[in-house]
Structure 1
Amino acid sequence: MQTLVICIDRDNDLGDKANVLAPLIGKEANIEAAVKLATADPEDSDTNTIFGGVKILDELLAKGVDAEIITLAGDRNIGIISDQKIANQLDILLKKFPAESAIFVSDGAEDETLLPIVQSRIKIDSVRRIVVMQSANLESTYYIIKHAFNDPKISQTFFVPLGLAALIYAFFLLIDYSQGAIIGILAAVGLYMLYRGFSDTVNLYWEKLKDSFYSGRMTFFTYATAALLILVATFLGLMDVWSLYTSQGIWYYGIIPLITSFIHRTIWVYVLAILFADAGKIIDCRQRSEPTDKYLIPAFFIMSLGFLLWGASSYLLSVNPVVSTTEASKFGGIQVFIYSIVFAIILALAGIRVSNKPLDKIKRSKR
Structure 2
Amino acid sequence: MSTLVVYVDRDRGGRHDGTTVGWEAVQALVTDIGLEDPEDSRVNCLLETLHVARDLSDGGEETVVAVIPGDGEGIKTDREVARGIDQLIGEYDLDAAVVVIDSAGDERLVPVIESRIRVDAVDRVVVRQSHDIQSTYYLLKQFLGDEQLRGTVLVPIGAALLAFPILLFLADNVAVALSAIVGVIGMFLLYKGLGIDSLVSRLPAVIRDGFYSGQVSLVTYVVGAGLALIGVFAGGISAAGTDETAELLIGLRFLFYSVPWFAVAALTAATGRLIDELLAEDGVSSALMNLPFGIVAVGLVVRGFTGYFLERADLLDPVVVPAVTAGAVSVDGFIVSIWGRLVVYVAAGILVSLIGVAFTSRMANDRPFEEFPE
Same fold (TM over 0.5): yes
What is residue 154 of structure 1 aligned with on the other side? 149
State whether structure 2 residue 276 is matched by structure 1 residue 281: no
Letter of the 1:194 partner, please give it. L
Whichever residue aligns with residue 154 of structure 1, its letter is L
Give the deviation of 1:147 after TM superposition: 1.6
Q: Report the AA paired with residue 101 of structure 2.
A: S
Matched to 2:140, the amino acid is I
* Residue number in structure 2 paired with 1:351: 356
Deviations 1:99-133 (A, max 9, x none): 79987543235546988988963478x764358x6
* Matched residue SS, 1:70: strand
Q: Are 1:310 and 2:310 matched, yes or no?
A: no
Q: Residue 190 of structure 1 corresponds to which residue in structure 2? A: 186
Root mean square deviation of aligned Cα: 5.6
Of 11, 14, 34, the residue aligned with 1:13 is: 11
Mind listing any 5+ residue stretches in structure 2 that lack a counterpart?
Answer: 320-335
Deviation at 1:193, TM superposition (A): 2.6
Q: Which moved more, 1:220-229 or 1:231-240?
A: 231-240
Q: Which amino acid aligns with 1:311?
A: G
Shifted more, 160-169 versus 143-152: the winner is 160-169
Matched, 1:212 2:194: no
Relative distance call for 1:337 and 1:236 in structure 2 (3 A) is same
* Residue range with higher mean Cα deviation, 158-167 or 85-94: 85-94
Cα contact 1:227–1:273 (8 A) shared by 2: yes
C-alpha distance after superposition, 1:345-366 (max 9, x if no partner) = 2321331232123234248999
CA distance in 2 between counterparts of 1:364 and 1:57 reads: 68
Aligned equivalents of 1:20, 1:266: Cα separation in 2: 81
Q: Counterpart of 1:106?
A: 101
Q: Name which of 261, 264, 272 aligns with 2:256.
A: 264
2:268 partner letter: F
User: How many residues are matched?
Assistant: 334
CA contact (8 A) 1:6 1:103 kept: yes
1:268-288 deviations in Å (ceiling 9; x for gaps): 333233223223324445666
Q: How does 1:88-107 map to 2 (within 5 A)?
A: 93=88, 96-97=91-92, 105-107=100-102
Label 1:357 to 1:72 Cα distance change in 2 as closer, same or farther (>3 A). Answer: farther
Tell me what 2:292 maps to.
Answer: 299
Whether 2:335 is the aligned partner of 1:339: answer no
Cα pair 1:106 1:129 within 8 Å, conserved: no
Query: Is 1:164–1:185's contact at 8 Å kept on the other side of the alignment?
Result: no
The alpha-carbon distance between structure 1 residues 187 and 121, as it changes in their structure 2 partners (threshold 3 A), is closer
CA distance in 2, matches of 1:344, 1:352: 13
Please report the TM-score for the alignment, with normalisation by the length of structure 1: 0.62
Unaligned 5+ segments in structure 1 are none
Cα gap change, 1:51/1:98 in structure 2, threshold over 3 Å: closer, same or farther? farther
Q: Which amino acid aligns with 1:343?
A: A
